[in-house]
Chain A
Amino acid sequence: MADRTRPSGLFKNVNAKIASIPMILTALCVFLGGTLWTVVYSFTDSKLLPRLRFVGLDQYERLWSAPRWLVSIENLAVYGVLSLILSLVIGFVLAALLDQKIRFENTFRTIFLYPFALSFVVTGLVWQWILNPQFGIQHIVRSLGFESFTFDPLYNADIVMYGILIAGLWQGTGLVMCLMLAGLRGIDEDIWKAARVDGIPMWKTYLFIVIPMMRPVFITTLVIITSGIVKLYDLVVAQTGGGPGNASEVPAKYVYEFMFRAQNLGQGFAASTMMLLSVAIIIIPWAYLEFGGKRRG
């Protein structure tokens, strides 16, 4: 009776399964497996080579009492909060300006976005040069007669993160602008018309009508920027190398140093697990809102 049924089970749709093997391997072995592996080994005392000798929370205790790690966290927090706020604000303002039916819109957009095409290494090195106190901005302002003018963020431990921030914003704001512009373009033209008929001034229309309508765009942008901020590494390496001293150290760099330089794998694993944790705190609520909400709607 059942001799003419379709192939079932494993062999059903077999081509699609073959085509998905790389994805399945990546998802299971690297993303899931790799993450679990690192989390598990962060509880061991692995040094040069990974080994399964569990020491409980030792690595984490050491991590949170290491001044270098604490500096990294503080730096990342300062950089993160400022770059989040500034890139959202600047990106939105630029997008709103570009949305005024202006001439040369494409030219301006091309200019604002090109740094995003560059490597962080390139960005870091250019700004290292521009912020060079001997030849760069400080030198020029001084040569204009302001002899006591000081602007040497890359050589001043107190403000080095702001120097990196300038470069980071230069590279990243274009992306935010693009996302915001897409969001603005998605707003129903009739809303603008209705607000005009109602006599609402433009700034109020943005503030009370358009921005609230763009909440999903803001949230998505927020998630994207944040997960980028946590990965901050190349820029710091290129621009300051973590210096002066350890003043511009960041977590991603801490991880790299301990895994591949200091041969203290356990510390590296613990630090990277902390990074994972911080991303999870952002991603999980977002994913819940984004995807959990849809299922209900």
Chain B
Amino acid sequence: MTSVLVKDVSLNFGAVEVLKSLNLDVTEGEFIVLLGPSGCGKSTLLNCIAGLLDVSAGQIFINGKNVTWEEPKDRGIGMVFQSYALYPQMSVEGNLSFGLKNAGLPKDEIARRIARAASILQIEPLLKRRPAALSGGQRQRVAIGRALVRDVDVFLFDEPLSNLDAKLRSELRVEIKRLHQKLGNTMIYVTHDQIEAMTLADRIAVMKGGLIQQLDAPQAIYGKPVNRFVAGFIGSPGMNFLEGRLEPRDGQPRFVADGLDIPLATYAFDAAGFRPGPAVFGMRPEHVGLNSGTGWPFSSATTVEVVEPMGSDTLVWARLASQNFTVRVSSERAPTVGDQIVIGFDPLRASLFDADTGVRL
């Protein structure tokens, strides 16, 4: 069942189009991540869903109800902010109860809800403290608690972990995932961090320029990016891009560039099929083999230029068709600078894009 439906939503600030007739359909209990670079409209979209921003056109439905004109408090949502936005002069308990008291809930009901949220988030010992006396991670937990006590169906997260350091971030990430599994609520989560997106999401919506570029499961986004932007944005280290041409040769589609000739027999073209012309060949560094025999449909010899050890893995920089090309290998097998190497890969795992439009071929 649909939980949140965003229908043809546009938003303009003066002449600037921040959201361009955008559609999004979130299923009940789903964890959706809105991912994109800053300025792509992801937070704006979240604020529209929350009712904190008025849309310029279009409609928003939550649980089947048209909430386009509703106040945030009446939409059945809870929201968690990047800066926590805790009320600094109130205790944790005060923060959790302020909205409920204001809504006129009976005292015992408020107490019950706070007790439940506190036990879920394990913040019982903190209830009497002020936010200033809490660590960043604890504050964010309280902020989540404030959304939790509202007993709502939809949770909205606006970059909730961006203010935390790396270690805490990964800890809280797991906790949010656990929370989602336990509660089963619909969650919409905004971030610019692709690891958060990949680990948390049922589906990721990659956004750019006020549009959703691709909405799909994390693996699909990683494996079959719909355009060059998504391909480059997802994955770290980034995907290799080689510029060249698609040409038919011996009745077989091939990718050709400056002495390079890659057979594409195994590549799955889109419905329009193979068509010759300029194109970009994309290959993830982790899908490339190094000196690993001759089993690859394609292999080529080259020289190591730079080696970047990253702990368990090492990134090897070389050149292919006089363009930069990286290979990710396990560190035990890392070559040294100047080594002659043979790299190989299966074009099945490649992504081909139109050179002009960047659309996947």
Tell me if chains A and B make direct contact, with any CB pair below 8 A.
Answer: yes
Q: A196-B73, A197-B77, A199-B71 are in contact. Are A191 and B99 (CB under 8 A)?
A: no
Q: Say if the beta carbon of A2 comes within 8 Å of chain B.
A: no
Q: Please tell me if the beta carbons of A191 and B87 are within 8 angstroms of each other in the complex.
A: yes
Q: Please tell me if the beta carbons of A194 and B79 are within 8 angstroms of each other in the complex.
A: yes
Size bracket, chain A contacts:
10 to 19
Q: Say if the beta carbon of B88 comes within 8 Å of chain A.
A: yes
Residues of A173-213 whose CB lies within 8 A of B = 188, 190-191, 193-201, 204, 208-209, 212-213
Q: Say if the beta carbon of B82 comes within 8 Å of chain A.
A: yes
Main secondary structure of the interface of A (DSSP, over half): helix
Q: Please tell me if the beta carbons of A190 and B87 are within 8 angstroms of each other in the complex.
A: no
Q: Please tell me if the beta carbons of A194 and B102 are within 8 angstroms of each other in the complex.
A: no
Pick the residue among B52, B85, B158 that contacts A191 (CB under 8 A): B85
Number of inter-chain CB pairs below 8 Å: 66
- Inter-chain contacts of B73 with A (CB < 8 A): 196-199
Q: Please tell me if the beta carbons of B81 and A193 are within 8 angstroms of each other in the complex.
A: yes
**Bound-complex Cα distance A198 to B147 (A):** 9
- Inter-chain contacts of B51 with A (CB < 8 A): 196
Q: Please tell me if the beta carbons of A197 and B72 are within 8 angstroms of each other in the complex.
A: yes
Q: Please tell me if the beta carbons of A209 and B87 are within 8 angstroms of each other in the complex.
A: yes
CB distance from A216 to the nearest CB of B (A): 12
- Inter-chain contacts of B103 with A (CB < 8 A): 199
CB distance from B40 to the nearest CB of A (A): 19
Q: A193-B52, A209-B89, A213-B89 are in contact. Are A198 and B98 (CB under 8 A)?
A: yes
CB distance from B54 to the nearest CB of A (A): 12
- Inter-chain contacts of B83 with A (CB < 8 A): 188, 190
Pick the residue among A188, A199, A212, A213 that contacts B102 (CB under 8 A): A199
Task: Specify which of B51, B77, B84, B85 lies most central, judged by the most chain A CB atoms within 10 Å of its CB.
Answer: B85
Q: Say if the beta carbon of B146 comes within 8 Å of chain A.
A: yes
Residues of A76-119 whose CB lies within 8 A of B = none
- Inter-chain contacts of A213 with B (CB < 8 A): 88-89
Smallest CB-CB A-B distances: 10 pairs: A199-B73, A198-B99, A190-B85, A212-B89, A194-B85, A190-B81, A197-B72, A197-B79, A190-B83, A191-B85
User: Footprint of A on B, CB under 8 Å?
Assistant: 47, 50-52, 71-74, 77-79, 81-90, 98-99, 102-103, 146, 150, 158
User: Footprint of B on A, CB under 8 Å?
Assistant: 188, 190-191, 193-201, 204, 208-209, 212-213
